[in-house]
C-alpha cells in the first residue's frame, strides 16, 4: 500500500533511508556518484563506473541489523575490482577508527578462500565512513575530510593503495558553512544534502539545483515517504537511534563523570604534592630564617667582641701613653736629680776648693810667721 505523505522530514543518516537510496541493486547511480565525489575530493582516488552491491537492501526482509547488515553497504567495482565498504554512522563511539580498520582488514582477508595463497588476486579495499559525530578533536583537526593510507613515514611514498580509509565528519563540515560558499564542489553538495533533514516535497536550495544526481535522489525520497513499509522501518530505526543516542549520551556522561573524577583525583593529588612542596619550602624558609638569625647573632657577638677589643686596645694605648708620660716624667726627674747632684758636686768642689785655699793660706801664714 502506497500513499503520498507530505511535509515529512527524512534524515538520510537513518540507515533505512540511507541504504534504500544508496544500497539498492538496481539503483546504483547515486552510490557511484557519491563514491566518486568522495575519492576524487583530494585528487588521489580512482573513478568508479559500474558497481556491484554485495549486500543490497531488501525491503521484504525484517528489520534486523544482524540479518540484513543494515549498518553498511559492501560493494565492488566491476572494472577495477576495488572493494568498497560504505558506512553511514548517526553517532560514533569509542575506538571507531579501530573498528573501521578491522572491517577493512576483514574485507581484504575475505577475498581469498581459506588455504589459498593467490596474493596477486588481492584487490584494493576502500573504507568510506560518513559520520554525524566528530571523532577527531583538537586544534590540528579542524578539517572534516580525512584520507588515510599506507605510507612510508620518511618519504611519504605510498606502499600501495590496497588500504584506503576515508572519514567525512558531516557535522564539522556543516559548521564550516559549506552552504555559504559561492561555489560548492560535488562532495560538498552531497554533504549539505545528506547531513540535513530533507523534505522531498520542497524545492532544493539554489546551491544544489544544478546537481542532477541529488535532484534524482530528492525525487526518490517521495517514493520512499509514500511507502508504508519503508516508513514503518524508518520509524522503527529512528526509535532505535533515539535509544542508541540516549544510551550513548548516558555512556558519554558516565565517561565524562569518570574522567572528571580522575581529573579531580589528579587535582587533589597535585594539591597534596603542592601542599607537601609548600610545607617543605616553608620548612626550608624557617630553617633559613633561623640560620640567618643565628648568623645575625654571631655577627652581633663578633661586632661586640670587636668593639670590646677596640676598647681594650684604646685602654692599652692610653695606658701605654700614661706609662710613656710617667717614664718621661721620671726621666725628667732623674735629669733634674742628676743636674741637682751635679750642682751639689760643683758646690762641694767649690767648698773643698775654698777650704783648700783657706788651709793653704793658713799654712803660708804659719810659714811666714
- pLDDT at position 137 over 90: no
The pLDDT assigned to 57 comes to: 86
Q: Which of 104, 90, 64 is nearest to 241 (CA)?
A: 90
Q: Give the pLDDT confidence of 1-56 residue by residue, as tens digits.
A: 444 445 689 999 898 999 999 999 888 999 999 999 999 998 877 789 899 999 99
What's the predicted TM-score (pTM) here? 0.66
Could you report the per-residue pLDDT of 84-108, keeping only the tens digit for each? 999 998 876 778 899 999 999 999 9
pLDDT at 64 over 70: no
**Beta-carbon neighbour count of residue 317 at 10 Å?**
10
Q: Quickly state the pLDDT bin for 369 (edges 50, 70, 90).
A: confident
pLDDT over 70 at 173, yes or no = yes
Confidence of residue 67 (pLDDT cuts 50, 70, 90): very low
Q: To the nearest 10°, the Cα dihedral for 211, 212, 213, 217?
A: 100
User: What is the pLDDT, as a whole number, of residue 29?
Assistant: 93
User: What is the crossing angle of helices 228-368 and 212-225, to 10°?
Assistant: 120
pLDDT at 117: 81
Contact 18, 12 (CB under 8 A): yes
188-205 pLDDT, tens digit each: 999 999 999 999 999 999
The radius of gyration computed from the CA coordinates of the chain, to the nearest angstrom, equals 57
**Grid coordinates in use for 85?**
565498504
Residue 159: partners with Cβ closer than 8 Å, 6 or more residues away:
150, 151, 152
CA 204 – CA 18 distance, rounded (Å): 18
Q: Cα(first)–Cα(last) distance of the chain, in Å?
A: 208
| HSE-up (13 A, CA, CB side) for residue 28 | 19
Domain boundaries, the chain: 15-226
Angle at 172 between CA 139 and CA 255, to 5 degrees: 70
Per-residue pLDDT tens digits for 314-346? 999 999 999 999 999 999 999 999 899 999 989
pLDDT at 61: 63
Q: At what angle do helices 212-225 and 29-39 cross, to 10 degrees?
A: 130
Please name the residues in contact with 158: beta carbons below 8 A apart, sequence gap of 6 or more. 149, 150, 151, 152
pLDDT greater than 80 at residue 140: no
CA-nearest of 314, 237, 183, 56 to 192 is 183
Please report the pLDDT score of residue 47 as a whole number.
Answer: 85
Q: What percent of the chain has pLDDT over 70?
A: 92
Distance of CA 152 to the CA centre of its chain: 26
Tell me the per-residue pLDDT of 302-322, one tens digit each, with 9 for 90 and over: 999 999 999 999 999 999 999
Residue 179 is given by DSSP the state G
Q: Which run of H or of E encompasses 310?
A: helix 228-368
- Tell me what the pLDDT averaged over the chain comes to: 87
Closest residue by Cα to residue 170 from 199, 203, 144, 139 = 144
DSSP code, position 203? P
Distance CA 234, CA 14 (A): 7
Report the alpha-carbon angle 200-202-208, nearest 5. 85
pLDDT value, residue 3: 46
CB 53 within 8 A of CB 34: no
Q: What was the pLDDT predicted at 1?
A: 41
User: Tens of pLDDT along 212-257?
Assistant: 999 999 999 999 999 888 889 889 988 888 887 787 778 778 877 8
Amino acid at each position: 500500500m502506497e500513499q503520498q505523505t507530505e511535509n515529512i522530514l527524512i534524515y538520510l543518516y537513518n540507515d533505512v533511508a540511507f541504504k534504500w537510496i544508496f544500497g539498492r541493486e538496481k539503483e546504483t547511480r547515486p552510490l557511484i556518484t557519491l563514491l566518486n565525489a568522495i575519492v576524487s575530493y583530494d585528487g588521489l582516488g580512482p573513478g568508479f563506473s559500474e558497481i556491484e552491491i554485495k549486500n543490497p537492501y531488501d525491503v521484504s526482509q525484517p528489520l534486523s541489523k544482524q540479518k540484513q547488515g543494515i549498518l553498511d553497504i559492501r560493494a565492488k567495482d566491476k572494472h577495477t575490482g576495488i572493494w568498497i565498504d560504505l558506512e553511514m554512522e548517526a553517532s560514533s563511539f569509542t575506538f571507531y577508527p579501530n573498528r573501521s580498520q578491522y572491517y577493512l582488514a576483514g574485507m581484504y582477508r575475505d577475498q581469498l578462500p581459506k588455504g589459498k595463497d593467490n596474493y596477486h588476486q588481492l584487490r584494493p579495499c576502500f573504507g568510506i565512513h560518513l559520520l554525524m559525530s566528530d571523532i577527531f578533536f583538537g586544534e590540528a583537526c579542524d578539517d572534516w575530510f580525512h584520507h588515510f593510507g599506507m605510507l612510508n613515514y620518511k618519504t611519504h611514498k605510498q606502499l600501495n593503495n590496497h588500504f584506503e580509509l576515508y572519514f567525512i565528519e558531516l557535522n564539522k563540515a556543516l559548521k564550516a558553512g559549506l552552504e555559504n560558499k559561492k561555489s560548492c564542489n560535488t562532495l560538498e553538495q552531497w554533504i549539505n544534502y545528506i547531513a540535513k533533514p530533507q523534505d522531498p516535497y520542497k524545492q532544493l536550495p539554489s546551491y544544489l539545483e544544478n546537481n542532477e544526481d541529488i535532484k534524482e535522489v530528492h525525487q526518490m525520497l517521495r517514493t520512499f515517504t509514500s511507502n508504508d513499509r519503508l516508513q514503518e522501518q524508518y520509524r522503527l530505526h529512528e526509535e532505535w537511534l533515539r535509544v542508541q543516542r540516549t544510551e550513548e549520551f548516558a555512556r558519554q556522561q558516565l565517561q565524562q563523570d569518570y574522567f572528571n573524577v580522575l581529573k579531580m583525583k589528579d587535582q587533589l593529588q597535585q594539591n597534596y604534592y603542592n601542599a607537601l612542596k609548600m610545607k617543605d619550602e616553608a620548612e626550608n624558609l624557617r630553617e633559613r630564617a633561623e640560620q640567618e638569625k643565628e648568623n645575625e647573632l654571631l655577627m652581633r657577638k663578633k661586632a661586640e667582641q670587636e668593639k670590646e677589643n677596640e676598647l681594650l686596645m684604646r685602654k692599652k694605648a692610653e695606658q701605654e701613653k700614661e706609662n710613656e708620660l710617667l717614664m718621661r716624667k721620671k726621666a725628667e726627674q732623674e735629669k733634674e736629680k742628676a743636674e741637682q747632684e751635679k750642682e751639689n758636686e760643683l758646690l762641694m768642689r767649690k767648698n773643698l776648693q775654698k777650704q783648700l785655699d783657706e788651709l793653704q793660706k793658713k799654712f803660708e801664714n804659719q810659714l811666714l810667721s
